[in-house]
Homo-oligomer: A and B are copies of this chain.
Amino acid sequence: MNYHLFGESHGPAIGVVLEDVPAGIELDMAFVAAQMARRAPGGSLLATARREADAVEIVSGVFEGRTCGTPLCAIIRNTDMRSRDYEATRWLARPGHADWTGHLRYAGCNDPRGGGHFSGRLTAPLVFAGAVARLALRGHGIEIAAHIRELAGLTDSPVDYANPDLAALRALPQKDLAVLDDAAGEAMRERIVQARACGDSVGGVIECLVCGMPAGLGGPDFDDSVESLWARYLLAIPAVKGLEFGAGFRLAAMRGSEANDPFYRDSEGRIRTRTNNNGGINGGITNGMPLVCAVAIKPTPSIALEQETVDMRTGESARLRVGGRHDPCILPRAVPVVEAATALTMQSLLACGARS
Protein backbone atom coordinates (compact mmCIF):
# COMPACT_ATOMS: atom_id res chain seq x y z
CA MET A 1 0.00 0.00 0.00
CA ASN A 2 1.72 3.15 -1.22
CA TYR A 3 0.73 6.45 0.27
CA HIS A 4 1.04 9.97 -1.08
CA LEU A 5 0.46 12.76 1.45
CA PHE A 6 -0.54 16.19 0.27
CA GLY A 7 -1.54 19.48 1.81
CA GLU A 8 -0.31 22.47 3.76
CA SER A 9 -1.05 23.38 7.33
CA HIS A 10 -2.99 26.51 6.43
CA GLY A 11 -4.13 25.57 2.93
CA PRO A 12 -7.63 24.40 2.09
CA ALA A 13 -7.07 20.81 3.13
CA ILE A 14 -4.62 18.00 3.76
CA GLY A 15 -5.00 14.41 2.73
CA VAL A 16 -3.63 11.22 1.28
CA VAL A 17 -3.98 8.95 -1.74
CA LEU A 18 -3.54 5.26 -1.01
CA GLU A 19 -2.67 2.90 -3.85
CA ASP A 20 -2.63 -0.90 -3.91
CA VAL A 21 -5.27 -1.03 -1.20
CA PRO A 22 -6.61 -4.57 -0.94
CA ALA A 23 -10.19 -4.68 -2.21
CA GLY A 24 -13.02 -5.55 0.11
CA ILE A 25 -11.81 -4.14 3.42
CA GLU A 26 -14.76 -3.02 5.55
CA LEU A 27 -13.89 0.58 6.22
CA ASP A 28 -14.80 0.64 9.90
CA MET A 29 -15.07 4.40 10.33
CA ALA A 30 -15.48 4.17 14.09
CA PHE A 31 -12.08 2.49 14.25
CA VAL A 32 -10.61 5.09 11.91
CA ALA A 33 -12.05 7.92 13.99
CA ALA A 34 -10.67 6.39 17.17
CA GLN A 35 -7.19 6.27 15.64
CA MET A 36 -7.51 9.85 14.43
CA ALA A 37 -8.66 10.96 17.87
CA ARG A 38 -5.51 9.55 19.48
CA ARG A 39 -3.45 11.98 17.39
CA ALA A 40 -5.84 14.93 17.32
CA PRO A 41 -4.84 18.09 19.16
CA GLY A 42 -6.91 19.77 21.78
CA GLY A 43 -7.16 16.79 24.04
CA SER A 44 -5.26 17.93 27.07
CA LEU A 45 -3.04 20.43 28.73
CA LEU A 46 -0.07 18.60 27.28
CA ALA A 47 -0.81 19.58 23.73
CA THR A 48 -1.48 22.51 21.45
CA ALA A 49 -4.70 24.44 21.91
CA ARG A 50 -5.43 24.27 18.19
CA ARG A 51 -8.63 22.27 17.78
CA GLU A 52 -9.29 20.49 14.55
CA ALA A 53 -12.29 18.31 13.96
CA ASP A 54 -10.07 16.31 11.61
CA ALA A 55 -13.18 15.07 9.86
CA VAL A 56 -12.12 12.76 7.07
CA GLU A 57 -13.92 12.85 3.75
CA ILE A 58 -13.42 9.73 1.65
CA VAL A 59 -13.28 11.04 -1.88
CA SER A 60 -12.68 7.81 -3.76
CA GLY A 61 -11.86 4.14 -3.53
CA VAL A 62 -14.70 3.11 -1.23
CA PHE A 63 -18.06 1.75 -2.38
CA GLU A 64 -20.87 0.51 -0.20
CA GLY A 65 -18.63 0.74 2.86
CA ARG A 66 -15.77 -1.36 1.51
CA THR A 67 -12.55 -0.54 -0.27
CA CYS A 68 -12.76 -0.87 -4.05
CA GLY A 69 -9.09 -1.70 -4.59
CA THR A 70 -8.76 1.45 -6.70
CA PRO A 71 -6.91 4.50 -5.31
CA LEU A 72 -8.43 5.74 -2.05
CA CYS A 73 -8.27 9.48 -1.54
CA ALA A 74 -9.18 11.01 1.80
CA ILE A 75 -9.15 14.70 2.59
CA ILE A 76 -9.31 16.62 5.85
CA ARG A 77 -10.32 20.26 5.68
CA ASN A 78 -8.27 22.77 7.63
CA THR A 79 -10.73 24.65 9.82
CA ASP A 80 -9.08 26.25 12.84
CA MET A 81 -6.35 28.25 11.10
CA ARG A 82 -5.08 31.47 12.54
CA SER A 83 -2.66 32.41 9.81
CA ARG A 84 -2.22 35.90 11.19
CA ASP A 85 -0.15 34.35 13.94
CA TYR A 86 2.47 33.74 11.30
CA GLU A 87 2.33 36.83 9.19
CA ALA A 88 4.58 39.05 11.22
CA THR A 89 7.32 36.45 11.27
CA ARG A 90 6.83 35.06 7.78
CA TRP A 91 10.40 35.66 6.67
CA LEU A 92 12.10 34.76 9.94
CA ALA A 93 13.40 31.20 9.78
CA ARG A 94 12.28 29.34 12.90
CA PRO A 95 15.28 27.40 14.31
CA GLY A 96 14.87 23.65 14.17
CA HIS A 97 12.10 23.99 11.56
CA ALA A 98 12.18 23.58 7.79
CA ASP A 99 11.41 27.22 7.00
CA TRP A 100 14.90 27.91 5.70
CA THR A 101 15.42 24.63 3.91
CA GLY A 102 11.92 24.77 2.41
CA HIS A 103 12.61 28.30 1.24
CA LEU A 104 15.76 27.11 -0.51
CA ARG A 105 14.34 23.89 -1.89
CA TYR A 106 11.26 25.53 -3.36
CA ALA A 107 12.82 28.81 -4.43
CA GLY A 108 10.80 30.80 -1.94
CA CYS A 109 7.49 29.55 -3.33
CA ASN A 110 6.44 27.12 -0.61
CA ASP A 111 3.58 27.97 1.72
CA PRO A 112 5.24 29.21 4.90
CA ARG A 113 2.15 29.44 7.07
CA GLY A 114 2.40 27.04 9.95
CA GLY A 115 5.20 25.15 8.26
CA GLY A 116 3.13 24.44 5.15
CA HIS A 117 3.65 20.92 3.88
CA PHE A 118 6.33 20.34 6.54
CA SER A 119 3.79 20.73 9.33
CA GLY A 120 3.19 17.99 11.85
CA ARG A 121 -0.40 18.38 10.77
CA LEU A 122 0.40 16.11 7.83
CA THR A 123 0.55 13.28 10.32
CA ALA A 124 -3.27 13.36 10.46
CA PRO A 125 -3.67 11.78 6.99
CA LEU A 126 -0.75 9.50 7.85
CA VAL A 127 -2.69 8.19 10.84
CA PHE A 128 -5.71 7.75 8.56
CA ALA A 129 -3.57 5.71 6.16
CA GLY A 130 -2.26 3.67 9.06
CA ALA A 131 -5.81 2.98 10.20
CA VAL A 132 -6.66 1.59 6.76
CA ALA A 133 -3.51 -0.54 6.90
CA ARG A 134 -4.54 -1.84 10.32
CA LEU A 135 -7.95 -2.75 8.98
CA ALA A 136 -6.21 -4.62 6.18
CA LEU A 137 -4.13 -6.48 8.76
CA ARG A 138 -7.21 -7.48 10.81
CA GLY A 139 -7.66 -11.20 10.93
CA HIS A 140 -3.94 -11.78 10.46
CA GLY A 141 -3.40 -11.82 14.24
CA ILE A 142 -0.94 -8.96 14.11
CA GLU A 143 -0.68 -6.51 16.99
CA ILE A 144 1.09 -3.15 16.87
CA ALA A 145 1.75 -1.15 20.02
CA ALA A 146 4.04 1.74 20.89
CA HIS A 147 5.04 3.23 24.21
CA ILE A 148 7.03 6.25 25.30
CA ARG A 149 10.33 4.65 26.29
CA GLU A 150 11.96 7.89 27.29
CA LEU A 151 10.78 11.46 27.76
CA ALA A 152 12.91 14.37 28.85
CA GLY A 153 15.46 11.96 30.26
CA LEU A 154 12.94 9.87 32.20
CA THR A 155 12.48 6.24 31.22
CA ASP A 156 9.56 3.87 31.14
CA SER A 157 10.04 0.32 32.39
CA PRO A 158 11.76 -1.83 29.78
CA VAL A 159 9.97 -4.27 27.51
CA ASP A 160 11.16 -7.85 27.24
CA TYR A 161 11.67 -7.94 23.48
CA ALA A 162 11.54 -11.73 23.36
CA ASN A 163 8.45 -12.07 25.53
CA PRO A 164 6.57 -8.80 25.68
CA ASP A 165 3.65 -8.47 28.07
CA LEU A 166 0.85 -8.30 25.53
CA ALA A 167 -1.81 -7.36 28.07
CA ALA A 168 0.23 -4.36 29.16
CA LEU A 169 0.84 -3.29 25.56
CA ARG A 170 -2.85 -3.58 24.72
CA ALA A 171 -3.72 -1.28 27.59
CA LEU A 172 -1.51 1.55 26.31
CA PRO A 173 -4.00 3.27 23.98
CA GLN A 174 -6.38 3.84 26.89
CA LYS A 175 -3.78 5.87 28.75
CA ASP A 176 -3.21 9.58 28.46
CA LEU A 177 0.54 8.93 28.24
CA ALA A 178 1.43 5.63 26.60
CA VAL A 179 3.75 4.26 29.27
CA LEU A 180 3.93 0.90 30.99
CA ASP A 181 5.01 2.38 34.32
CA ASP A 182 2.37 4.85 35.44
CA ALA A 183 4.65 6.41 38.03
CA ALA A 184 7.15 7.16 35.30
CA GLY A 185 4.29 8.58 33.29
CA GLU A 186 3.36 10.89 36.12
CA ALA A 187 6.92 12.18 36.29
CA MET A 188 7.03 12.66 32.55
CA ARG A 189 3.80 14.63 32.64
CA GLU A 190 5.39 16.87 35.24
CA ARG A 191 8.34 17.53 32.95
CA ILE A 192 6.04 18.50 30.11
CA VAL A 193 4.14 20.91 32.30
CA GLN A 194 7.42 22.41 33.49
CA ALA A 195 8.71 22.80 29.96
CA ARG A 196 5.51 24.55 28.93
CA ALA A 197 5.77 26.86 31.91
CA CYS A 198 9.28 27.85 30.77
CA GLY A 199 8.16 28.42 27.19
CA ASP A 200 10.33 25.45 26.30
CA SER A 201 9.81 21.91 25.02
CA VAL A 202 11.04 18.36 25.55
CA GLY A 203 11.70 15.27 23.42
CA GLY A 204 12.03 11.55 23.91
CA VAL A 205 12.00 8.07 22.45
CA ILE A 206 9.04 6.06 21.23
CA GLU A 207 9.41 2.31 20.95
CA CYS A 208 7.10 0.25 18.77
CA LEU A 209 6.53 -3.51 18.85
CA VAL A 210 4.81 -5.71 16.31
CA CYS A 211 3.73 -9.19 17.32
CA GLY A 212 2.42 -11.87 15.03
CA MET A 213 4.26 -11.07 11.80
CA PRO A 214 5.21 -14.21 9.89
CA ALA A 215 8.88 -15.12 9.58
CA GLY A 216 10.57 -14.85 6.20
CA LEU A 217 9.41 -11.42 4.99
CA GLY A 218 11.80 -8.80 3.62
CA GLY A 219 15.20 -9.24 2.04
CA PRO A 220 18.89 -8.41 2.24
CA ASP A 221 19.12 -5.51 -0.21
CA PHE A 222 18.36 -1.86 0.28
CA ASP A 223 15.15 -2.08 -1.65
CA ASP A 224 13.66 -5.05 0.16
CA SER A 225 15.10 -4.94 3.67
CA VAL A 226 12.52 -4.69 6.46
CA GLU A 227 14.76 -2.22 8.23
CA SER A 228 15.18 -0.05 5.14
CA LEU A 229 11.46 0.05 4.45
CA TRP A 230 10.45 0.69 8.05
CA ALA A 231 13.08 3.42 8.36
CA ARG A 232 11.90 5.18 5.21
CA TYR A 233 8.44 5.58 6.65
CA LEU A 234 9.52 6.45 10.19
CA LEU A 235 12.17 8.99 9.22
CA ALA A 236 9.61 10.94 7.19
CA ILE A 237 7.72 11.72 10.40
CA PRO A 238 8.65 15.27 11.39
CA ALA A 239 10.99 15.44 14.44
CA VAL A 240 12.26 11.86 14.15
CA LYS A 241 16.08 12.06 14.12
CA GLY A 242 17.16 8.49 14.76
CA LEU A 243 15.99 4.93 14.98
CA GLU A 244 17.19 1.58 16.16
CA PHE A 245 16.05 -2.01 15.82
CA GLY A 246 16.04 -4.29 18.85
CA ALA A 247 18.88 -3.35 21.17
CA GLY A 248 20.16 -0.93 18.52
CA PHE A 249 22.79 1.42 19.88
CA ARG A 250 23.10 -0.70 23.03
CA LEU A 251 24.59 -3.44 20.83
CA ALA A 252 27.65 -1.24 20.43
CA ALA A 253 28.73 -2.09 23.96
CA MET A 254 27.84 -5.79 23.92
CA ARG A 255 29.95 -8.80 23.06
CA GLY A 256 28.81 -11.15 20.32
CA SER A 257 28.12 -13.88 22.83
CA GLU A 258 25.70 -11.54 24.55
CA ALA A 259 24.22 -9.87 21.47
CA ASN A 260 23.56 -12.98 19.40
CA ASP A 261 20.08 -14.36 19.88
CA PRO A 262 20.43 -18.14 20.22
CA PHE A 263 17.79 -20.24 18.50
CA TYR A 264 15.75 -22.91 20.27
CA ARG A 265 12.62 -24.89 19.66
CA ASP A 266 9.82 -24.01 22.04
CA SER A 267 7.31 -26.43 23.53
CA GLU A 268 4.98 -25.89 20.59
CA GLY A 269 7.69 -26.78 18.10
CA ARG A 270 8.28 -23.24 16.89
CA ILE A 271 11.77 -21.96 16.32
CA ARG A 272 12.38 -18.91 18.45
CA THR A 273 15.30 -16.98 19.90
CA ARG A 274 16.15 -16.76 23.61
CA THR A 275 16.80 -13.04 23.48
CA ASN A 276 15.69 -10.60 20.82
CA ASN A 277 18.49 -8.09 20.53
CA ASN A 278 18.06 -8.10 16.75
CA GLY A 279 14.49 -6.87 17.07
CA GLY A 280 13.06 -9.79 15.14
CA ILE A 281 15.10 -9.09 12.00
CA ASN A 282 18.15 -10.95 10.65
CA GLY A 283 19.65 -9.98 7.32
CA GLY A 284 16.72 -7.63 6.63
CA ILE A 285 14.19 -10.48 7.01
CA THR A 286 11.69 -11.17 9.79
CA ASN A 287 12.58 -14.15 11.98
CA GLY A 288 9.21 -14.64 13.64
CA MET A 289 10.10 -12.88 16.90
CA PRO A 290 8.44 -9.57 17.87
CA LEU A 291 9.62 -6.73 15.65
CA VAL A 292 11.06 -3.88 17.68
CA CYS A 293 11.97 -0.40 16.54
CA ALA A 294 12.52 2.78 18.55
CA VAL A 295 12.66 6.33 17.21
CA ALA A 296 14.33 9.37 18.73
CA ILE A 297 12.09 12.42 18.68
CA LYS A 298 13.58 15.83 19.16
CA PRO A 299 11.98 18.48 21.39
CA THR A 300 9.30 20.46 19.54
CA PRO A 301 11.23 23.19 17.78
CA SER A 302 8.40 25.67 18.30
CA ILE A 303 9.15 27.28 21.63
CA ALA A 304 7.97 30.54 23.17
CA LEU A 305 11.46 31.62 24.23
CA GLU A 306 13.13 34.25 22.12
CA GLN A 307 15.66 32.82 19.65
CA GLU A 308 18.39 34.05 17.35
CA THR A 309 17.72 33.72 13.64
CA VAL A 310 17.92 35.44 10.24
CA ASP A 311 15.49 37.09 7.87
CA MET A 312 15.31 34.84 4.81
CA ARG A 313 14.81 37.71 2.37
CA THR A 314 17.62 39.91 3.56
CA GLY A 315 19.90 37.48 5.34
CA GLU A 316 19.99 39.94 8.26
CA SER A 317 20.24 38.73 11.83
CA ALA A 318 17.01 38.86 13.78
CA ARG A 319 15.37 37.85 17.04
CA LEU A 320 12.32 35.64 16.92
CA ARG A 321 9.59 34.80 19.39
CA VAL A 322 7.42 32.11 17.78
CA GLY A 323 3.70 32.87 18.06
CA GLY A 324 0.92 30.41 17.39
CA ARG A 325 -0.18 27.47 19.52
CA HIS A 326 2.21 24.56 19.97
CA ASP A 327 2.83 21.34 21.79
CA PRO A 328 5.48 21.52 24.52
CA CYS A 329 6.06 17.84 23.73
CA ILE A 330 4.75 15.93 20.75
CA LEU A 331 5.44 12.45 22.06
CA PRO A 332 1.92 11.75 23.34
CA ARG A 333 0.45 12.56 19.94
CA ALA A 334 3.36 10.95 18.05
CA VAL A 335 2.67 7.49 19.48
CA PRO A 336 -0.23 6.75 17.09
CA VAL A 337 1.79 8.28 14.24
CA VAL A 338 4.66 5.85 14.81
CA GLU A 339 2.12 3.03 14.95
CA ALA A 340 0.57 4.24 11.69
CA ALA A 341 3.90 4.29 9.82
CA THR A 342 4.54 0.84 11.26
CA ALA A 343 1.16 -0.49 10.15
CA LEU A 344 1.82 0.73 6.61
CA THR A 345 5.20 -1.00 6.66
CA MET A 346 3.74 -4.27 7.89
CA GLN A 347 0.87 -4.24 5.41
CA SER A 348 3.36 -3.72 2.57
CA LEU A 349 5.57 -6.53 3.81
CA LEU A 350 2.68 -8.94 4.02
CA ALA A 351 1.45 -7.96 0.55
CA CYS A 352 4.94 -8.45 -0.92
CA GLY A 353 5.43 -11.65 0.98
CA ALA A 354 2.31 -13.14 -0.55
CA ARG A 355 4.03 -12.58 -3.84
CA SER A 356 7.05 -14.79 -3.47
A342 within 8 A of B: no
Smallest CB gap from A255: residue in B: B200
- Shortest A66–chain B CB gap in Å is 5
B256 and A96 contacting across the interface, CB-CB below 8 Å: yes
- Shortest A179–chain B CB gap in Å is 14
Q: A41-52 vs B: 1/0 string, CB under 8 Å?
A: 000000000000
- Shortest A304–chain B CB gap in Å is 10
Once bound together, how far apart are the Cα atoms of A102 and B245, in whole Å? Answer: 19
A59 and B257 contacting across the interface, CB-CB below 8 Å: no
B252 and A246 contacting across the interface, CB-CB below 8 Å: no
A283 and B118 contacting across the interface, CB-CB below 8 Å: yes
A254 within 8 A of B: yes
B222 and A233 contacting across the interface, CB-CB below 8 Å: yes
Once bound together, how far apart are the Cα atoms of A354 and B352, in whole Å? Answer: 9
- Shortest A161–chain B CB gap in Å is 12
- Shortest A242–chain B CB gap in Å is 3
Query: Which B residues are in CB contact (< 8 Å) with A262?
Result: 95, 307-309
- Shortest A68–chain B CB gap in Å is 5
B238 and A283 contacting across the interface, CB-CB below 8 Å: yes
Q: A109-B67, A257-B200, A271-B310 are in contact. Are A247 and B236 (CB under 8 A)?
A: no
User: Beyond the given A70-B116, A152-B255, A262-B307, could you list 13 further A-B residue pairs with CB under 8 A, ordered by the A residue number?
Assistant: A6-B70, A6-B73, A8-B61, A12-B58, A24-B108, A70-B220, A95-B263, A101-B282, A153-B253, A203-B251, A231-B232, A251-B296, A256-B305
